[in-house]
């Protein structure tokens, strides 16, 4: 996190974004703030023990604040003990590009490439429904993160995640020519589309929670419903809409991760496997980037294991 990178000794001071902020009560009955702060270099957990509710209030998710604090450690990870905290004022000059984590590729460029690719499908029926759903969700896709925190949890995250899987899917389809390649590509493009409704996020793509729709329905079932609606509008055949819906419903693989059914045909298996692979590689690279070569990372929550940084240079930058 850049706030930490710019620290003087163990003192950090600067502007950052609020990802979450909750008032909690300690064992001795004192109210404090439990925060997650972020900039485009990462996140940090923070505690504000000298919190006065009447004075400080609650800092909204997505808001810009200035903090000063002491860098400590909790369970092997850095934590900020906040000494001073205030909201951004009109007089403050803040470069938002330093604060907002975003995909390293232009969302407009990614969206345009994916849309052009969908328009090139030889299967006109498949192309029509994919293009329709892309165009319907354009504005949200340019901003929406792909997750709360596990992977691609930043502006343009869905498009970046989709672009990586689409690139990998082209290689898989070349290796296995029996696949219906365009069905694979369509499933990749549509598999996370409903996350634009599942997550709460700011105008700069900072995720803060799940919508009521996201909690009660979610992007798998919700995505299948959206395909049904689009299929009615586009005149999509019953067989094709069912195949697309199955890919959406099965792409998390097993009930433990939310899928009501496992993939039941090869194209669905490819989408599910590549989705998991991309999310895993992203988490691995992020954890390794925060560790020196030759060292082990902290246990990665989403993977439930430590990783070894073998010193390979590179960054997560899929072809589009």
Distance (Å, rounded) from C-alpha 295 to C-alpha 247?
A: 39
Q: Do both 214 and 68 map to the same domain?
A: no
Residue from 163, 91, 189, 124 nearest 316 by CA: 163
Block residue for tokens 């240079």: 313
Tokens of 247: 């890919």
Q: Do both 75 and 209 map to the same domain?
A: no
Residue from 268, 320, 267, 270 nearest 116 by CA: 320
Residue from 141, 169, 167 nearest 155 by CA: 141
Q: How many domains does the chain have?
A: 2
24: β partners: 32
Q: What is the pLDDT along the chain (320 residues), one digit of tens a residue?
A: 778 888 888 999 999 989 889 999 998 999 999 999 988 877 899 999 999 988 888 898 888 999 999 999 887 788 999 999 999 998 998 887 788 777 788 899 999 999 999 999 999 999 999 999 999 999 999 999 988 777 787 888 999 999 999 999 999 999 999 999 999 999 999 999 999 999 998 777 778 889 999 999 999 999 999 999 999 999 999 999 999 999 999 999 988 888 999 999 999 999 999 999 998 998 888 888 778 888 898 888 888 899 998 886 555 555 44
Q: Do both 74 and 118 map to the same domain?
A: no
Q: Which of 33, 54, 87 corresponds to the end of one domain?
A: 87
Residue 225: phi and psi, rounded to 5, are -65, -40
The answer to whether 83 touches 68, Cβ cutoff 8 Å, is yes
In a domain? residue 198: yes
Q: Do both 134 and 200 map to the same domain?
A: yes
Q: Do both 67 and 141 map to the same domain?
A: no
Q: Do both 55 and 138 map to the same domain?
A: no
Q: Give the global pTM.
A: 0.77
The number of residues making up the chain comes to 320
Read off the CATH number of the domain in which 27 is found.
2.40.50.140
Q: Do both 130 and 251 map to the same domain?
A: yes
Domain span at residue 155 reads: 107-284
Residue 318's CB: how many other CB atoms inside 10 A?
Answer: 18
The answer to whether 189 touches 226, Cβ cutoff 8 Å, is no
Q: Do both 116 and 253 map to the same domain?
A: yes
The answer to whether 298 touches 74, Cβ cutoff 8 Å, is no
Distance (Å, rounded) from C-alpha 46 to C-alpha 7?
A: 15
In a domain? residue 67: yes
Q: Do both 280 and 186 map to the same domain?
A: yes
Q: What pLDDT is stored for residue 111 in this prediction?
A: 96
């Amino acid at each position: 996190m850049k706030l930490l990178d710019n620290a003087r000794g163990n003192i950090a001071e600067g502007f950052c974004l609020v990802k979450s902020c909750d008032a909690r009560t300690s064992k001795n009955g004192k109210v404090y703030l439990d925060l997650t702060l972020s900039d485009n270099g990462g996140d940090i957990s923070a505690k504000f023990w000298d919190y006065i509710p009447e004075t400080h209030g609650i800092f909204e998710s997505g808001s810009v604040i200035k903090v000063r604090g002491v860098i400590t450690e909790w369970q092997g990870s850095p934590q900020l003990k906040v000494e001073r905290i205030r909201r951004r004022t009109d007089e403050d000059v803040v470069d938002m590009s330093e604060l907002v984590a975003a995909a390293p590729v232009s969302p407009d460029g990614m969206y345009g490439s994916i849309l052009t690719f969908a328009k090139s499908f030889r299967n006109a029926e498949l192309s029509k429904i994919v293009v329709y759903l892309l165009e319907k969700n354009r504005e949200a896709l340019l901003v929406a993160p792909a997750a709360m925190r596990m992977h691609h949890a930043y502006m343009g995250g869905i498009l970046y995640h989709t672009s990586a899987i689409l690139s990998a899917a082209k290689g898989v389809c070349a290796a296995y020519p029996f696949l219906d390649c365009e069905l694979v590509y369509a499933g990749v493009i549509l598999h996370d589309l409903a996350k634009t409704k599942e997550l709460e996020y700011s105008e700069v793509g900072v995720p803060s929670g799940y919508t009521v729709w996201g909690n009660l329905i979610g992007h798998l079932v919700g995505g299948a419903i959206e395909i049904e609606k689009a299929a009615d509008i586009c005149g999509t055949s019953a067989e094709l809409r069912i195949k697309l819906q199955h890919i959406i419903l099965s792409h998390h693989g097993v009930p433990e991760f939310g899928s009501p059914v496992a993939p039941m045909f090869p194209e669905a298996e490819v989408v599910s496997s590549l989705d998991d692979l991309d999310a895993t590689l992203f988490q691995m690279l992020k954890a390794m980037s925060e560790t020196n070569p030759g060292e082990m990372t902290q246990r990665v929550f989403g993977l439930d294991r430590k990783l070894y940084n073998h010193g390979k240079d590179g960054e997560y930058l899929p072809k589009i």
